[in-house]
Amino acid sequence: MFDIRAIRENPEAFRAAWNRRKPGLGDAVDDILAHDGALRKAVTDKQEAESARNANSKLIGQAKAKGDEAEFERLRAVVAEAKDTIEAAGEQEAAAREALDEILLGLPNLPLDDVPVGEDEDGNVEQKAVGTPTALSFAPKDHADLGEALGMMDFETAAKMSGSRFVLLRGQLSRLERALANFMLDVQTGEHGYTETTPPVLVRDEALVGTGQLPKFGEDSFQTTDGLWLIATSEISLTNSVRESILDADVLPKRMTAHTPCFRSEAGSAGRDTKGMIRLHQFNKVELVSIVRDEEEGLEELERMTRCAETILERLELPYRRMLLCTGDMGAGARKTYDLEVWLPSQDTYREISSCSYCGDFQARRMDARWRPKPTEDNPKPKPEFVHTLNGSGLAVGRALVAVLENYQREDGTIAVPDALKPYMGGLEVIGA
């Protein structure tokens, strides 16, 4: 959510920031201020009525003791009126608070000033490209054709049991996916200082509200019959691991990683990437989450996190580029996002394989996640402050598998194993040979 006091004191800054997200979105400021005004008036009316009720209730006994029937009846009427006002003001307060929360929970985060303004992916800006796009001496096959020809990637069998956008991997490709995940985890934990975590993949509404998937994006996720949600990313579980807590300054920055299945309905992706493993309902991902103190530390951590993800691509010797996302293409919870896109020869283009985002205190306010600064002479009892959060893919395992198949394919349909993965593949050098 957002600091209502900050909106109240500087509404035009919020209006301008939301308009950078989407023209006209800043008009929400007017509704916010209207509901905030109604809320504050209702609270004031309720408090004044409670004071009047309490003060006059004491006087009723005195009037009765004196035998002043007229004053007694007058005071009873005043107290009754105060009670009616309290009830009405309480209802107005609840309605205004609900309306205000509904607006604030549905609004996206404020983009940082250096984020380019744009409507969609066409407004994204390339920051750098690493490696030369793979040039094969033969017509490249896509990963689905390669995998099916090897008999190790089976969409038909998966569809019989689960429907479209599912895959069944076998043999060496199944091992390759496991090898990729283990390689990623070993690098992120052993070299980059992330703590491996095994979180729940089923979570409550509050967890999705905390990271921003609810209330607006519920259609993108799967919900069980008992109301739990399958996570679309372990960002949800990892970030919510600090909800409703006050962290000591010494534990920050807190870095976590997890390898989990992720589940997405792809509600808005009808007709897109219907073939292959690019866009599945179920896929595996190694996620990176960082909890930091403030914006300065958060922006430094964003660069660090992105480099941690880039390291995987570089060790796998996969060509990629880094994109700075524009305001219209960023996720709702982000203030700044870098996408990493890997080269796919069959498509003759780059495709997203990682997204690293700095979220400021947007998620922390929704989760009530704070940290306590260390005492100083000037401030011996510092108040807790909201943490700042970051998340990123380190990487999407299925898409990494796709990239390895396509970039390491050989003319006979076999796949060379990247050097970085050979120890994880028992020394195997070629898949399908």
**Catalytic center residues:** 264, 279, 352, 355, 399
pLDDT at 347 exceeding the cut of 70: yes
**Paired tokens of 275:** 């073939």
Binding residues for ATP: 264-266, 352-355
For 412-419, what is the mean pLDDT? 98
Looking at the chain, which residues constitute the CATH 1.10.287.40 domain(s)? 4-106
pLDDT of residue 51: 86
Q: How far from the centroid of its chain's Cα atoms is residue 344's Cα? A: 26
Spatial neighbors of 388 by CB under 8 A, at least 6 apart, are 291, 292, 293, 294, 295, 297, 298, 358, 359, 360, 361, 364
* Cα–Cα distance for residue pair 159/153, rounded to 1 Å: 12
**DSSP string across 161-211:** HH-SS--EE-HHHHHHHHHHHHHHHHHHHHTT-PEE----SEE-HHHHHHH
pLDDT at 61 exceeding the cut of 80: no
Dump pLDDT digits (tens) for 279-325: 999 999 999 999 999 999 999 999 999 999 999 999 999 999 999 99
CATH superfamily name and code, 4-106 = Serine-tRNA synthetase, tRNA binding domain (1.10.287.40)
Percent share of the chain, pLDDT over 70: 98
Question: Which helix (H) or strand (E) segment is 431 a member of?
Answer: strand 430-431
Dump pLDDT digits (tens) for 214-240: 998 899 999 999 999 999 999 999 999
CB atoms within 10 A of CB 132: 8
Looking at the chain, which residues constitute the CATH 3.30.930.10 domain(s)? 121-431
Dump pLDDT digits (tens) for 228-271: 999 999 999 999 999 999 999 999 999 999 999 999 998 766 67
* Cα–Cα distance for residue pair 13/355, rounded to 1 Å: 27
* Terminal-to-terminal C-alpha distance of the chain: 55
Binding residues for L-serine: 233-235, 264, 287, 391, 393
CATH says 121-431 is which class? alpha beta
pTM of the entire predicted model = 0.93
